[in-house]
Structure 1
Amino acid sequence: MKAGLTWIFLLLTTPMFAQLTVREQFEKIKTPQEAQKFIDANQPLKPTLLHLTLGKDTTLIDKRLLRQKKGDVFSVGYVTYLVLDGTEEVNYRSNYIFLDGSSLSPSEVDSLKKVILQKASEGTSFDKLSDQYTMDGNTTHGDTGWFFGEEMMPKEFQDAVQKHKKDDIFFVDVPERQWHYIVKKTYDDQVKKEITVLRANGR
């Protein structure tokens, strides 16, 4: 009788000790150190770390991985992937004309905005308009170069550029500083994304 009870106990408790699936194990991994422990302990599954860059890695699975966010786990066939880490940065580029509201009256600022917009609509290049009208003495024809964050341009400027599409011309005002910009977005946004992925055979 005792042997029979022992056997039943073993049958009931065995599932508790069943091996976790690869997916279940991946869902518990949060750090590079935990990923390395998994790699070291599961060599038969051929685990590896992949480092992918948007625009550089272009296979179908690479593109799918680069669309995921940190922490995502999914399987393709009999291979499972975990997006372990990632960074993403969006850069913007535009040309601008700066009008100094501390030197001009509000009516003068509005008048210059209208004149500049009219000349731009008639085909005058924005480079020439910047050289002619900008009041900050820049020597780049108003070209911001690629920028990210507020290290170069005010937040209001970046937010406005982000919302517009290439070739749009628009106004940006920073009232508390009396800064006024006429801006032309000159390039599509440049997205930089890199991810680290843990890959292993199994589901």
Structure 2
Amino acid sequence: MLKNLLVTALLFSTTIVIAQKDFEKSLDSIQTLDDVTIFFKKNNTVKGKVIVFNEEKHKTRMAEDILNMGLGSKKYFKDAPQKTYYKVIEKNEIPYYRVSCVYIDGRKRSIKDVNIIRNQVIAKYQDGYRFTDLAKQFSMDNTAKQGGDLGWFTNGDLHPEFERQVIEGDYRKDDIFKIDIPDISAYYVVLITHDKRLIKESKVLKVTEPRK
């Protein structure tokens, strides 16, 4: 009886090892985002998703480890109760921009008042007032709470016209200027707070090994 139980246990553990190797092998075959889509169609019980790690936005030790991984490489973290793999599908250096702004709502202020306020903001800044204080005083949206800081952004994160004028304007750090978007009644004073940066990003497949 004991012998039979030992044989059964050995067969069971061998089956698990083979299944784990098959799962890892299927992950090794994934090279592109299209492969990820195909993988999930074939393995609809597997839980996973593609996530983006950004060296500026993600400061954890795990994020640092993943950003240092090579293209196509994978590692796993023993998240109880199941093993979770992270596989690097794409690695890029993306141009990012950082500005602070004062937003004036053209639906609540006349164009005359908009321009008076914006000229006042620019004049005060050039006289030595801190832009963060000016944003807290004059800005008419939630960014006022953080002194107008929009954080790091790249193409596709903000309103297209706002991005276009920042990106194509050939501005440098500490330049201050106006942006008008009449279609949405949005009027800005914008300060370039950082020069353009190439920031490392990795698109990573996070997938949990299915239970056996």
Amino acid at match of 1:116: V
TM-align CA RMSD: 2.4
Q: Is 1:181 matched up with 2:174?
A: no
Deviation at 1:86?
6.5
1:14-29 equivalence runs, <5 A = none
Q: Which residue of 1 is the match for residue 178 of structure 2?
A: 171
Q: Is 1:131 matched up with 2:136?
A: yes
Q: Distance in 2 between matches of 1:155 and 1:140?
A: 22
Q: Which residue of 2 is the match for residue 201 of structure 1?
A: none
Identity %: 32
- Kindly name which structure, 1 or 2, has the bigger radius of gyration based on alpha carbons: 1
Q: Is 1:97 matched up with 2:102?
A: yes
Q: Distance in 2 between matches of 1:170 and 1:155?
A: 17
Q: Distance in 2 between matches of 1:192 and 1:146?
A: 10
Q: Which residue of 1 is the match for residue 155 of structure 2?
A: 149
Deviation at 1:88?
3.5
Normalised by the size of structure 2, how large is the TM-score? 0.49
In structure 2, stretches of 5+ residues that fail to align are: 1-30, 33-89, 202-212
Deviation at 1:167?
0.6
Q: Aligned to 2:198, which of 174, 191, 200?
A: 191
Deviation at 1:193?
5.6
1:130-161 Cα deviation digits (max 9, x unpaired): 0000001342110111111232x212222222
Q: Which residue of 1 is the match for residue 14 of structure 2?
A: none
Q: Distance in 2 between matches of 1:187 and 1:129?
A: 18
Question: Secondary structure of the equivalent of 1:94?
Answer: strand
Question: Secondary structure of the equivalent of 1:92?
Answer: strand
Amino acid at match of 2:103: F
1:100-111 equivalence runs, <5 A = 100-111=105-116
Question: Secondary structure of the equivalent of 1:145?
Answer: strand
Amino acid at match of 2:172: K
Q: Distance in 1 between matches of 2:134 and 2:149?
A: 12
Q: Is 1:160 matched up with 2:165?
A: yes
Q: Distance in 2 between matches of 1:172 and 1:113?
A: 10
Normalised by the size of structure 1, how large is the TM-score? 0.51
Amino acid at match of 1:142: G
